Each structure stands twice: as C-alpha cells, then as structure tokens.
Amino acid sequence: MHGAAVMGIDPVRELEQGFNRLAAEVCLQAQADEWLTLEVDAERSQFIRFNQARVRQTGWVADGEIRLTLIWQDRCAYRSLPFTGHGASDCASVQAALTSLRQEVRELPPDPHVVRPADVATSREVYPGALLPPEQVVPTLMPVVAGLDFTGCYAGGQVARAYADSAGQKHWFATESFTLDYSLWADDERAVKGNLAGSHWDQAQFASQLHGLTDQLAHLGRPTKAIPRGTYRTYLGPAAVADLVSMLSWGGLSEAALQQGVSALGALRRGEKTLSPQFCLGENFSHGLVPRFNHLGQMAPMTLPLIEDGQLVNTLISSRTAREYGLEANGAGASEAQRAPEVSPGSLPEAEVLTTLGTGLYLSNLHYLNWSDRPAGRITGMTRFACFWVEAGELVTPIVNLRFDESLYRFWGDQLVGLTDTLAFIPEVGTYGQRHLGGTWAPGMVVEDFTFTL
C-alpha cells in the first residue's frame, strides 16, 4: 500500500465511497452459480489546449465507466455503463444491467477458456500529487513560452481505477497527475517535440526542457538535407526508443502470440537469434504510475524482467493463456501488453551522445510504426519532428523525413553501439475515451547501421 489514507481531494473520496457501495452491492447480487466482476474507470480532469502560445480551449471533464461482467456455466457476457460515483443511481443501473445480462448469457455458447475470479486479494494505492492549481496553469506556462509558437495540450487532475468481484477481491488505485504534450514550431512543417509528466509540477524542469528544445529549434531554421536511402549510424532519442518498445506489446512479449507462432520474438525464444547483452527490458510498477491489478483483479509482480542481457527470460501470461496452454499466469492483462515498461540504462553519458554518434543521423521522434515482417522482427515507420544530420559530433541541419525498415534483432542486437546512462519518462498522453495512464522509461541509443528505405 502506498500513499496517504486520503488525497485531500473530496471528489476522489466521493468516487471511492461510491465504488465501495457499488462493489458491496455487486457481491450481494451474485447467485450460487454466477461470478460477477466489476471494473471502474473514473477521472476529474482539467484540459487546456494551446496554439501559438494562446489558450484555444479549456474546461473540465468529470467522467466514469463501469464494466460489469457475468460468468455463468462457462458463458460470459458484459455491459458498459456510466459511473457517476453516486451510490444509489449506480447501483440501480448495475441492477438493470445484471437483469439483462442474465437473459443474454443463456443464449451464448460456452467458452472453454473462460477464467472465473478466484483470488481474494485486496489493495488500496493512493498517490497524491502537487499539481499547479487549476487557475494557475495558464499564468504559469504563458510567460515561459512567450515569443514561441507553442502548441499542445495540458491534462491534469485525478484518475481512479478500481476492481471488485463476487469472489471477494477489491482493488482501488487513484493518482493525481498531469501531462503536458507540446511542440515548438519553426514554420508550418518543422517542429521540436516535448512532453512533461508527473505528479508534482517542477517549473525549473519545464524551463530546462524548453531551453534544450529551443536550441534544437534554432537548427530547424536551416535548409533541410535530403538523405539518400541506405544504412547510417543513428542516434534514437528516448521517445523514439519508447515507440520501438511499444511494438513489443503488439505480437511481441505476449505468451499467446508466441504459442500461436505470430510473435516477433519467436526466433529469440527458439534460440535462433540473440539480442545484445546491453539490452534489458522489464515491467516496473514501483513508480506507482499504473495499477498492478488486471481485469480479473490479479496482481502483477512489482517488477518482472522480460529481456535480460539480450535473452528472453519471461513473457506476459494472462490467466486465459495460462489455462489454454497449461502455464502459470503472472498478472498480465487480457491483451498481454506491457503496462509499465522500463528499459535499463546503459553506460553512454548523455553529454557524449553527439561525439559517439560522430557522423550520421540524430532522430528525436518516430511515428507511423508498424510491423513490416513480424516473424523477422522488422519494423517500419517514419522520422518525425527534430531529426538532424550530424557531422563530426555537431548538429548540422534538419533532414527531409525518411522511412526506415529495420529488424529489432539488429538495432537491439549486434548493431547496438550503446544506451545512454539516464532514462527519460515518455508518458502516455492519449485521451481517447479517458485519460491514459503510465508510460515508458527509456534511454537513448546509438545504432551502427540503421536502415532507411525511402
């Protein structure tokens, strides 16, 4: 258990009280041959959208969702409905949904791999923050970005995730956090990208980050250089590395994907290929950014090594996959995606990145990533934002956007020169449906020959 007993934020207390009442009601509703699970997402968030260093849109969102699942005789059905935090109205909505589910579930075919809740674990994690007061966000940001073409979105406030079931499990996770996702534009086509996130606003950190980005912004004013396709010594910044790591949540570290022969890490699992001993990746929930419990209330270990010294030592195994293939689950979610990824730092000092790179490409960001050949671990995508041609350890000029197509067995394998000795937190900034939590801790990395195809 982490954090204080209360966050000092009445809306979150009220949400928790509403969830507790709803959870108790759900447990009482389960009949002898039924299992019920209840998942709740809720938030109280402030959003401010900026363009050209001016406020274009601002407001608050109070939102929540309930996912009620009924399991009966190996059949499973669910409903999604609003979560208000007001116990009486939420209980009435859940009761009506349950009545409908009991009729529907009897018409469904059995699911041979359905998993019933069985554990009786409980947890309560509350992470208070020290955010900017809502009325101070604009006055704090605007003077610092005066004179810059500053475009982006600030999202801050309280987010809660909760779970309960008729087997007796109950989990509550609440955090007070913010993300500032922004760009500084040199013209209509070129920009540098920045993001800041956490539970405590640090004005000095924001000012320092801006200073570094404005240095890159000055270089963006130079004429762009077209780079012929080929292989180049390349530095990929932490945001670019985080994007590459995210691909392992899509047919990579999933045990089901490995069992079904569709994983990019199949050759690593079979011992046909290896990665560099410098590359280590794991799940690390100790930062308190996301809940450890999954959609069945099962708790993931606080840390779980996945790739150590270039070898696959663990995969993400959900209870459903464990049941289907006779394995032991390790708290993974239904999609067996990473929830708290962290790449271990290397030994390359941050200040020596350009010197180590020498002559080649400096890539701050990537986008449009996809598998071009998943069994071979090949990823394709585009360069984005502040990407430069470097000569003799000096940024020379921005480049015309390039498409890359490269195998993870090369850039995390024998072509990996080094990883930086510091990690950057690259937050999840999505707001589709709800504010997304967590992010990736990643270093930058230098690769000997990175392949560009267009």
Identify the structural domains of the chain with CATH numbers, from first to last.
10-214 (3.30.2290.10), 230-452 (no CATH)
Pairing label, strands 303-308, 281-284: antiparallel
Q: Does residue 305 register a pLDDT over 60?
A: yes
Q: Of 15-29, 153-167, 254-268, which range is least confident?
A: 15-29
Task: Give residue 160's pLDDT.
Answer: 96
Q: Does residue 219 register a pLDDT over 60?
A: yes
Task: Give residue 2's pLDDT.
Answer: 34
Q: Predicted confidence band at 8 (pLDDT cuts at 50, 70, 90)?
A: very low
Task: Give residue 85's pLDDT.
Answer: 85
Q: Count CB-CB contacts under 10 A for residue 108.
A: 13
CA proximity to 447, closest of 419, 411, 395: 411
- Which DSSP category does 36 fall into? E
Give the pTM: 0.94
**Top-confidence residue, 343 or 29:** 343
Q: Predicted confidence band at 341 (pLDDT cuts at 50, 70, 90)?
A: very high
- Mean pLDDT over 173-183 rounds to 96
Q: Give CA–CA dist 233/135, Å, rounded.
A: 47
Task: Give residue 315's pLDDT.
Answer: 98
Q: pLDDT tens digits for 251-284?
A: 999 999 999 999 999 999 999 999 999 999 999 9
- Mean pLDDT over 132-158 rounds to 95
Q: Count CB-CB contacts under 10 A for residue 1.
A: 8
Q: H or E element: which one contains 357? A: helix 353-357
Q: Give CA–CA dist 396/72, Å, rounded.
A: 65
Q: Give CA–CA dist 216/390, Å, rounded.
A: 13
Task: Give residue 7's pLDDT.
Answer: 36
Q: H or E element: which one contains 56? A: strand 54-72
CA proximity to 70, closest of 44, 32, 102: 102
Q: Does residue 430 register a pLDDT over 70?
A: yes
Task: Give residue 5's pLDDT.
Answer: 31
- Mean pLDDT over 407-426 rounds to 98
Q: Residue 116 in 3-state DSSP?
A: coil
Q: Give CA–CA dist 418/424, Å, rounded.
A: 16
The values of phi and psi at residue 124, to 5°, are: -145, 115
Task: Give residue 10's pLDDT.
Answer: 66
Task: Give residue 4's pLDDT.
Answer: 33
Task: Give residue 13's pLDDT.
Answer: 85
Q: Does residue 9 register a pLDDT over 90?
A: no
Amino acid identity, position 440: T
Q: Count CB-CB contacts under 10 A for residue 82.
A: 11
CA proximity to 74, closest of 39, 101, 35: 35
Task: Give residue 6's pLDDT.
Answer: 34
Q: H or E element: which one contains 181? A: strand 170-185
Give me the long-range contacts of 136-145 (CB less than 8 A, separation at least 24). 137/46, 137/48, 138/48, 138/55, 138/58, 140/201, 140/203, 141/50, 141/180, 141/206, 142/53, 144/203, 144/206, 144/207, 144/210, 145/53, 145/210
Q: Does residue 230 register a pLDDT over 90?
A: yes
State the average pLDDT for the chain. Answer: 94
- Mean pLDDT over 11-15 rounds to 82
Q: Does residue 3 register a pLDDT over 60?
A: no
Task: Give residue 86's pLDDT.
Answer: 84
- Which DSSP category does 248 fall into? G
